[in-house]
């Protein structure tokens, strides 16, 4: 791909294009070249990271050292060789003792100059899908917003009437009837508590300050440890240099508390119940949102990880919708509220779950200069 000397083309001086090998190495997409015997001939840095193996190892090994012979990827490669076509396949799983990569998209192309050689471009579609889903959930959370406001308004008034009437009756009835009036009162209180929770979905402008996320997380950890997560081992892995989040202190507590509560409920019954809370800063990653020319700059990451059994596959596509629950006493509002709060912050959520390791990652914006310093934070 080297052009004429000094990049002179048709008399016009152009900057010389950089070496294609350098471009390939820096490409943030895993690229692998296999020879006719499926031995690794080239891997770029992204592929090393993706496969979790160094290039020096890979270049002395074959694909069969990484995935079993019955993996559909090998069939795909044979098809490409047989038909001399580029073929893309979605939702492949690269599974072996050293590798677990579900939901991979693979583009496989022949290399005309090298008979039998195959170029593979790999893509971790599960990460992209998680983001897609989260973006769709924003809509789901919005539709609840209107409903919540109406519910709160329409239900609360008659409810207090019912409760008051039951209380009045209590003074004039006895025996089993008294039990009934108490039942009415208790149930009215339960509905009221639920409506209060629904009301949090209501559309209110978010009062933002510069929030120290570590204070939020430590507070949540303390609440959890002294209550619903007693007996769970907590691990906090905090990046002390993290700048403040642009956000609402109380709502961030609410969101993180819901995540930690889910994690605690997932690890209950585990022989070594463990929850890890981690923060980090991701440099230079911007996330494109469908239908918008803007890219979100969300460098702050908060991860809540547990060693529970994982999120059931069948609810994954609806995870952030309200009333989706697998728990007998669950309302299914926890993650819907997290999605609403994170959406209001302009952030995103990613979910990665398999048995023994469930991870929910929040991507949040850094506080801007115009954000007031947080009252509750230093």
Ligand X SMILES: Nc1ncnc2c1ncn2[C@@H]1O[C@H](COP(=O)(O)OP(=O)(O)OP(=O)(O)O)[C@@H](O)[C@H]1O
Contacting residues toward ligand X, per CB under 6 A: 258, 262-263, 266, 306, 308, 310-312, 315, 319, 324-327, 330-336, 358
Contact of residue 319 among ligand X, Mg ion, none (CB under 5-8 Å per partner type): ligand X
Q: Alpha carbon 245 to chain centroid distance?
A: 18
Q: Which does 217 bind (CB under 5 to 8 A by kind): ligand X, Mg ion, none?
A: none
Pairing between β-strand 99-110 and β-strand 87-96 as defined by DSSP bridges: antiparallel
In 3D, which of 135, 129, 157, 145 has the Cα closest to residue 199?
Answer: 145
Sequence-distant (≥ 6) Cβ neighbours of residue 171 within 8 angstroms:
none
- Strands 245-247 and 209-211 come out as antiparallel
Question: Is 209 among the residues that bind Mg ion (CB under 5 A)?
Answer: no
Question: Nearer Cβ to ligand X, position 67 or 333?
Answer: 333
Which C-beta is closer to ligand X: that of 119 or that of 360? 360
CB of 360 to ligand X, least distance (A): 7
The closest residue (CB) to Mg ion is: 334
Question: Least Å distance between CB 363 and ligand X?
Answer: 18
CA–CA distances in Å: residue 278 to residues 236, 259, 306, 373: 6, 13, 11, 23
- Which positions ≥6 away from 32 have C-beta within 8 Å? 40, 42, 43, 44, 47, 119, 120, 122
DSSP 208-247: -EEE-HHHHHHHHHHHHHTTTTTTPEEEEE--TTPPPEEE
Inter-axis angle of helices 249-267 and 213-225, nearest 10:
40
Binding partner of 332, given Mg ion, ligand X, none, CB within 5-8 angstroms per partner class: ligand X
Tokens for 173, please give them: 């009835």
Rounded to whole angstroms, the Cα distance separating 289 from 309 reads: 31
CA distance 273 to 85: 50
Q: Which residue, 68 or 312, is less far from ligand X as judged by CB?
A: 312
Sign of CA dihedral 324, 141, 284, 282: negative
In terms of CB distance, is 54 or 326 closer to ligand X? 326
Q: Tell me the residue number closest to ligand X, measured at CB.
A: 334
Instruction: Considering only residues 257 through 276, tell me which ones interact with Mg ion, judged by CB under 5 A.
Output: 262
Name the residue nearer to ligand X (CB basis): 298 or 333.
333
Q: Mask: binding to Mg ion, 318-357, rule CB under 5 A, as x and -?
A: ----------------x-----------------------
Closer residue to Mg ion, CB minimum distance, 53 or 264:
264
CB of 132 to ligand X, least distance (A): 18
Choose between 18 and 317: whose C-beta lies nearer to ligand X. Answer: 317
The CB-of-208 to ligand X minimum distance in angstroms stands at 25
Minimum distance, C-beta of residue 305 to Mg ion, in the bound complex (Å): 16
Beta carbon of residue 149, minimum distance to ligand X (angstroms, whole number) = 19
**By CB under 5 A, is residue 254 in contact with Mg ion?**
no
Site residues, Mg ion (CB under 5 A): 262, 334
């Amino acid at each position: 791909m080297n052009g004429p000397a000094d990049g002179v083309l048709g008399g016009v001086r152009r900057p010389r294009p950089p070496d294609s090998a350098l471009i390939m190495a820096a490409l943030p997409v895993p690229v692998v070249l296999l020879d006719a015997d499926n031995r690794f001939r080239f891997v770029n840095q992204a592929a090393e990271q993706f496969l979790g193996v160094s290039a020096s190892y890979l270049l002395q090994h074959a694909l069969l050292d990484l995935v079993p012979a019955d993996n559909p990827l090998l069939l795909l490669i044979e098809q490409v060789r047989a038909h001399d076509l580029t073929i893309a396949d979605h939702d492949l799983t690269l599974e072996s003792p050293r590798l677990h990569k579900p939901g991979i998209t693979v583009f496989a192309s022949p290399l005309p100059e090298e008979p039998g050689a195959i170029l593979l471009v790999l893509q971790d579609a599960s990460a992209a899908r998680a983001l897609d889903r989260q973006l769709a959930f924003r809509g789901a959370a919005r539709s609840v917003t209107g409903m919540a406001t109406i519910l709160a308004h329409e239900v609360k008034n008659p409810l207090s009437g019912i409760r008051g009437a039951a209380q009045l009756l209590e003074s004039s009835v006895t025996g089993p009837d008294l039990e009934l009036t108490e039942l009415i009162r208790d149930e009215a209180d339960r509905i009221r508590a639920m409506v209060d929770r629904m009301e949090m979905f209501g559309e209110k402008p978010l009062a933002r300050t510069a929030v120290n996320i570590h204070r939020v997380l430590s507070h949540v950890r303390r609440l959890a440890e002294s209550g619903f997560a007693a007996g769970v081992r907590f691990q906090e892995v905090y990046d002390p240099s993290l700048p403040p989040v642009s956000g609402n202190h109380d709502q961030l507590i609410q969101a993180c508390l819901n995540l930690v509560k889910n994690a605690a409920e997932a690890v209950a019954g585990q022989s070594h119940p463990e929850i890890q809370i981690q923060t980090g800063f991701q440099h230079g990653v911007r996330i494109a949102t469908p239908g918008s020319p803007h890219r979100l700059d969300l460098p702050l990451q908060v991860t809540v990880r547990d060693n529970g059994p994982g999120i059931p596959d069948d609810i994954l596509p609806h995870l952030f919708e309200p009333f989706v629950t697998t728990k007998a006493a669950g309302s299914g509002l926890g993650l819907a509220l997290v999605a609403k709060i994170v959406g209001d912050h302009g952030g995103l959520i990613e979910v990665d779950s398999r048995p023994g390791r469930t991870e929910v990652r929040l991507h949040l914006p850094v506080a801007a200069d115009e954000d007031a310093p947080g009252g509750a934070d230093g």
